[in-house]
């Protein structure tokens, strides 16, 4: 049976962040995820997880100046020390929150930097992060993101991500497969998931166009989620969509999809 995690960056965002854990639990979610925990003390988040008996499925490594438009710095030459410091901060939170996987956003390709240099920087940073996480028993994920929503994002395809994973040579580096992003970039969702399920450790969903709830667009989520069950996928599926109204009003999609 598909295990759904509420993305608290996007779901229940009509409430204050620390109150969203309770909303997610009352709605039937047993797992949660979000972009970043770093604006809060780890103890504050741990208290919410314990109080509502929720699993924190994952969060991201620090990703640079998010408010200023950065979407990760892992492919940015010259910022390796900042990246490495961020890995240490993320691990402190992961230990406190029981997180077993962390996602690394590659970032927008920096202007004036050759593709090969950005690629080499990303691979080197991933090797560093994977090694640090391995010592703690934590997996590292990378996520291709569509370049329509985030123009210039360096990591934007499944094949590219899998080639980077192979080049890195880390046995704890895996793919985070976002169905919405890959529908926009590639299509071929079912065949791609089937072919690469062994490399996929986390899946996220939203419909297209509009990034709304499943059932509001063109993606056949009844088929895809049923396929994941048939394939024996054991990971979580993060609900990272933009609710069309208040979050609770749109949750009927789960029953409509047999969840």
User: What Å distances lie between residue 105 and 69, 125, 126, 155, 257, CA to CA?
Assistant: 13, 11, 10, 8, 30
| Residues whose CB is less than 8 angstroms from the CB of residue 251 and which lie 6 or more positions away in sequence, other chains included | 27
pLDDT at 66: 97
Specify the residue for token string 């030459």. Answer: 77
Domain boundaries 30-256, corresponding CATH code:
3.20.20.150
Does pTM top 0.85 for this prediction?
Answer: yes
Domain regions of the chain by residue span:
30-256
pLDDT at 122: 98
The contacts found for 48-55 with CB under 8 angstroms, 24 or more apart, are: 48/18, 48/21, 48/22, 49/21, 49/97, 49/98, 51/21, 51/22, 52/21, 52/22, 52/24, 52/25, 53/25, 54/21, 54/24, 54/25, 54/29, 54/30, 55/5, 55/30, 55/31, 55/98
Cβ 106 vs Cβ 142: under 8 Å:
yes
| Residues whose CB is less than 8 angstroms from the CB of residue 135 and which lie 6 or more positions away in sequence, other chains included | none
pLDDT at 258: 85
Over the chain (259 residues), what is each successive 10-residue block's mean pLDDT? 94 97 97 98 98 98 97 98 98 98 97 97 98 98 98 98 98 98 98 98 98 97 97 97 95 92
pLDDT at 259: 86
Q: Among all residues, which ones are annotated catalytic?
A: 143, 240
pLDDT at 14: 95
């Amino acid at each position: 049976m598909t295990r759904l995690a509420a993305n608290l960056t996007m779901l229940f965002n009509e409430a204050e962040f620390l109150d969203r854990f309770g909303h997610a639990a009352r709605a039937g979610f047993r797992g949660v995820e979000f972009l970043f925990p770093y604006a809060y003390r780890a103890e504050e988040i741990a208290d919410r997880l314990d109080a509502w008996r929720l699993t924190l499925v994952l969060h991201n490594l620090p990703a640079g100046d998010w408010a200023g438009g950065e979407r990760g710095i892992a492919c940015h030459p010259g910022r390796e020390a900042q990246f490495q410091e961020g890995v240490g901060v993320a691990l402190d939170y992961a230990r406190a929150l029981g997180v077993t996987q962390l996602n690394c956003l590659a970032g927008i390709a920096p202007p004036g930097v050759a593709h090969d240099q950005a690629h080499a920087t990303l691979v080197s940073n991933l090797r560093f992060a994977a090694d640090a996480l391995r010592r703690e028993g934590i997996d590292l994920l990378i996520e291709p993101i569509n370049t329509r929503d985030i123009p210039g994002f360096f990591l934007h395809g499944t094949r590219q991500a899998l080639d980077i994973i192979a080049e890195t040579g880390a046995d704890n580096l895996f793919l985070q497969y976002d169905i919405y992003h890959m529908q926009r970039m590639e299509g071929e969702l079912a065949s791609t998931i089937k072919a690469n399920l062994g490399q996929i450790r986390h899946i996220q969903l939203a419909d297209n166009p509009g990034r709304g709830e499943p059932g509001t667009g063109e993606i056949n989520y009844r088929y895809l989620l049923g396929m994941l069950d048939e394939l024996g996928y054991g990971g979580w599926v993060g609900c990272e969509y933009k609710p069309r109204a208040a979050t609770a009003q749109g949750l009927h999609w789960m029953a409509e999809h047999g969840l």
